[in-house]
Amino acid sequence: MKTIYLIFFLLSTLGVHAYAQQKPYMDYVLSWNGDNSTLKVELTYSASQKDSTVFVFGDPSFGGQNDIFNVIKNIRVTQPEVVKIDHATRQITVHHNGAKKHQIRYEIDGSFNKNQPTVISQTELFRPVITKGLLTLVNKQFTLEITDESNPLVSFIWRDHPENFNYFNSIVPSQRDPLEKLSADYNQVSEMVYFVMGDNIDVREYNVMGIPYYSVTTKEDRYGNDLQGSLSPFFESYFPSIHRFWNDTDFPFYFLAVSALQNNQKEIGAGGFGIRNGFVMKLGRAFDTWEKYVTAHETAHTWVGLKMMLGKASFDHQWFGEGFNDYTTLINLANSKIYGQEQFLHYLNEDTLKKHYESEVKGAHNDSIAANYWTDVARRKQ
């Protein structure tokens, strides 16, 4: 009998120790009905601190969105917990007051002001887009940032969503069912992940040198684009070319997401940003020569800028980060036949060398580029 008690005691002790060592977690449950501009978010989490947990929402350095905190609304917790909000620092502090379960609920407002149409692509590119029939989000636009080093396991699952909408996520792109839970370490998710859902979304998969590649686009837009057709040469020739250029196929997957702007009233250009294992573009006109260049240039940053970087930040040593990246872009646009001789020379002479020669800030120091990037168009074009 003593042996049985001893075994039970040891098993109980081990069980308590295992529970105490349980990995921290953040479980997101998302809801959207497909018609309105509101994403409902419910976050259940483990508290690394007994008294309170501090979250931060939004990142003004991501596209210069200084008012990004305005999109999060109706932040609430369940008693005895109390929430305090500091708009100046974008901090959300939850005082636990002895609560054993920790949950915070809020809404993300992705609506547009119809009286203030989009005039530059960055306006929609770096903000949550939630409108009738379409949702595009990166995690910086709807998740909460932690302020400790706990590296919790983060999960996402959809409670409510339109059944007939296509869906894409950049955590596990092969997973197409929003009702299946996605999980990744916080450190991985903090590198930015992308979610797309809509009735006008088309997702296609390619095999590029043994690597799964995904093409995510709007099916139709006001500019008459066939985006899947426009992007197919990249998957068929450009991406194989640049992989061979770097002799590198060490990728779990890659995706290219191009969607039309939703709130512009006239044709404007395109903008985009690199993300972990992918590139996101918002398009405000027909996909043409310049858009081909932007797609090629930004996806080339997968190597120069992500896998290789001089200095401690992406704006350090722009001669390498942008200059050499442009070289690899043009070489592989030419090698893949996406750019012919005329397009190659026009970009080199008219779009690059001439504009640099005529620029008012061509002699500006590299340090001034990062400081004025979002407020000075001339420096942004350098």
| The domain boundary residue, chosen from 184, 199, 214 | 199
Q: Are residues 47 and 151 in the same domain?
A: yes
Q: Are residues 193 and 247 in the same domain?
A: no
Q: Are residues 129 and 195 in the same domain?
A: yes
SS3 sequence of the chain: CHHHHHHHHHHHHHHHHHHHCCCCEEEEEEECCCCCCEEEEEEEECCCCCCEEEEEECCCCCCCCCCHHHHEEEEEECCCCEEEEECCCCEEEEECCCCCCEEEEEEEECCCCCCCCCCCCHHHHCCCEEECCEEEEEHHHCCEEECCCCCCEEEEEEEECCCCCEEEECCCCCCCCCCCCEEEEHHHHCCCCEEEEECCEEEEEEEECCEEEEEEEECCCCCCCCHHHHHHHHHHHHHHHHHHHHCCCCCCCEEEEEEECCCCCCCCCEEEEEECCEEEEEECCCCCHHHHHHHHHHHHCCCECCCECCCCCCCCCHHHHHHHHHHHHHHHHHHCCCCCHHHHHHHHHHHHHHHHHHCCCCCCCHHHHHHHCCCCHHHHCC
Q: How many domains does the chain have?
A: 2
Q: Are residues 168 and 215 in the same domain?
A: no
In a domain? residue 377: no
In a domain? residue 209: yes
Q: Are residues 208 and 269 in the same domain?
A: yes
Q: Are residues 283 and 309 in the same domain?
A: yes
pLDDT at 53: 95
Kindly report the pTM of this predicted structure: 0.85
CA nearest neighbour of 48 among 10, 7, 9, 102: 102
**Which pair of structure tokens corresponds to residue 81?**
């917990």
Please state the φ and ψ torsions of residue 84, each to the nearest 5 degrees: -125, 135
Q: Residue 291 sits in a domain of what CATH number?
A: 1.10.390.10
The gap between the terminal CA atoms of the chain, to the nearest Å, is 81
In a domain? residue 327: yes
pLDDT at 337: 94
pLDDT at 348: 84
Residue where the block lists tokens 């903090």:
190
Q: Are residues 226 and 194 in the same domain?
A: no
| The domain boundary residue, chosen from 172, 199, 226 | 199
Q: Residue 113 sits in a domain of what CATH number?
A: 2.60.40.3650
Q: Are residues 48 and 193 in the same domain?
A: yes
Q: Look up the domain containing 223 and give its range.
A: 200-339
pLDDT at 320: 77
pLDDT at 119: 85
Q: Are residues 55 and 183 in the same domain?
A: yes
In a domain? residue 29: yes
Rg (CA), the chain: 23
Q: Are residues 156 and 222 in the same domain?
A: no
In a domain? residue 376: no
| The domain boundary residue, chosen from 171, 199, 227 | 199
Q: Are residues 175 and 250 in the same domain?
A: no
Q: Are residues 109 and 238 in the same domain?
A: no
Question: What is the chain's pLDDT, residue by residue, as a tens digit (382 residues)?
Answer: 545 444 444 444 444 444 445 789 999 999 999 999 999 999 999 987 779 999 999 988 888 888 889 999 999 999 999 999 999 999 999 999 999 999 999 999 999 888 888 888 888 888 999 999 999 999 999 999 999 888 899 999 999 999 999 999 999 999 999 999 999 999 988 778 999 999 999 999 999 999 999 999 999 999 999 999 999 999 999 999 999 999 999 999 999 999 999 998 888 988 888 888 999 999 999 999 989 999 999 999 999 887 877 766 666 667 678 888 999 999 999 999 999 988 888 888 888 788 877 877 667 765 666 566 545 555 445 5
